[in-house]
Amino acid sequence: MTASRPPASSDPRRPVSPAGGPAASPDADPPVSPGARPRPDAEDAAASPEDRTWLERARRLGRAGWGQVQPNPMVGCVLVKDGRVVGEGHHARYGGPHAEVLALETAGEAARGATAYVSLEPCAHHGKTPPCTRALLQAGVRRVVYGAADPGAESGGGGAALAAAGVDVVGPVWSEEEARAENPEFFHRLRHGTPWVALKLAMTLDARISAGPGLRTRITGPEAEREVHRLRSGFGAVVVGSGTARADDPRLTVREAPPGRVPPRRMVLDPEALLAPDAALLREGGAHAGPVDVFVAPDADGARVRRLRDAGAQVHPVPRSPEGLELGVVLETCSALGVGSLLCEGGQALAASFLRERRAHRLYLFVAPRTLGGEGLPAFTTDAGALDWRAARPAAPPELFGPDALLVYDLDGD
């Protein structure tokens, strides 16, 4: 088949068809940061513009695994021979074949002598599947170009293993920041062992998230809502504060997008246990609805706590903090529950706490072309000016969903 080149934009939030316009090529290969695994081919480490074009296609293929492969990383692979694609694939489900294996299957004998472009360094260990390095060698692949180094103690080192076996290897091509932006939960978990946290806010042009305190206000349109549901499908849990839970009565499920492999847990930080037992998220059941977790203060009213448990919630006492509850303990509890990533959907007070304590790693800002004026509730509390935004960097180009714009920022180096 004739290969088409991917668009130049790099968006780690959503899968995009590999077809598109020509990709832009950076002027120089990004340097390897101190502490990174050295490139296996020190004599010829630079990736060509053509290499980067195919690697971008692999990246975009990998994003089709959003919500289906976690806690594994999203990975795509493209096999190219004589300037044409002979095979491609992506890691489509947790525990299933890796991207390289699927690409080799589609290529068949045409893989011999081809170049494999892989968004993540091929694994070199036998986990749920055999090592991809072995499959590439057995297929006779001549050259491997990979975007991100695999940081795993067991799975990493595939590039060096391939080079030792005589394969021409180029990688990692991407900077550490670019690699983390593509699979942030995977990299964060390996480094810290705690949940990766993203904060989502829908706001107006004058940075208001509702018409006033406690008022349910529709900010963005249906296109943006569908994207929010798609984002939810890739997280281990979705969390809101008690004020948002009472004002909006959300279900926190994935309904407007294909469901993920495991429905996200639904969490409320509710120090006083004020969530109504007949709240929508407690009424919503079925295979698409994850468990409900309510975090309360140790001295919350016992009768209200019992009513929440009787309604089906798992209640977790957490020490108080000046702003509500100790977020560090909340995240520790999330880890114990097996949650690797957390999407915070507000409201104002909870968002401010995550930002102030530097516990939010990514910010999704949906901006609607409307204003609410001075009576509206600000997206950021009055002390937001004291927050240090210097570390914020764009994680993806701005994108439109109907009339609404989505801006994505990564907030730290993790």
Q: Which amino acid, one-letter code, is at 350?
A: L
Q: At what angle do helices 132-139 and 99-107 cross, to 10 degrees?
A: 20
The Cα 393–Cα 89 span in angstroms is 30
Containing H/E element for 161? helix 158-164
- Return contacts of 15-23, CB within 8 angstroms, 24+ apart: 15/60, 15/63, 15/64, 15/65, 15/66, 16/60, 16/63, 17/60, 18/57, 18/60, 18/61, 18/78, 18/88, 22/53, 23/52, 23/53, 23/56
Let me know if 378 is exposed, middle or buried by CB neighbors in 10 A (0-12, 13-18, 19+): middle
The total number of residues written for the chain in this structure: 414
Q: Which residues pair with 378 in a beta bridge?
A: 208
Question: What radius of gyration do the chain's Cα atoms show?
Answer: 23
Beta carbons of 107 and 87 less than 8 angstroms apart: yes
100 assigned to active site: yes
Whole-angstrom distance, CA of residue 41 vs CA of residue 160: 9
Please, what is the angle between helix 49-62 and helix 99-107, to 10°?
110
Provide the CA 232 distance to its chain's centre, in angstroms: 10
Structure tokens at 349: 């007070």
> Exposed, middle or buried: residue 182 (CB in 10 Å: 0-12, 13-18, 19+)?
buried
* The pair of three-digit structure tokens given for residue 173, joined into one six-digit string: 């091509």
Which neighbouring-strand residues pair with 117? 78, 145
* 141: three-class secondary structure by DSSP: coil
Of 56, 100, 182, 345, which residue is the catalytic one? 100
Could you give the 3-state DSSP secondary structure of residue 160?
helix
Q: And the tokens for 40?
A: 């296996």
Exposure class string for 122-154: b at 16+ Cβ within 10 A, else e:
bbbbeeeeebbbbbbbebebebbbbbbbbbbee
Beta-ladder partners of 343: 198, 238
Q: Which residues are catalytic?
A: 100
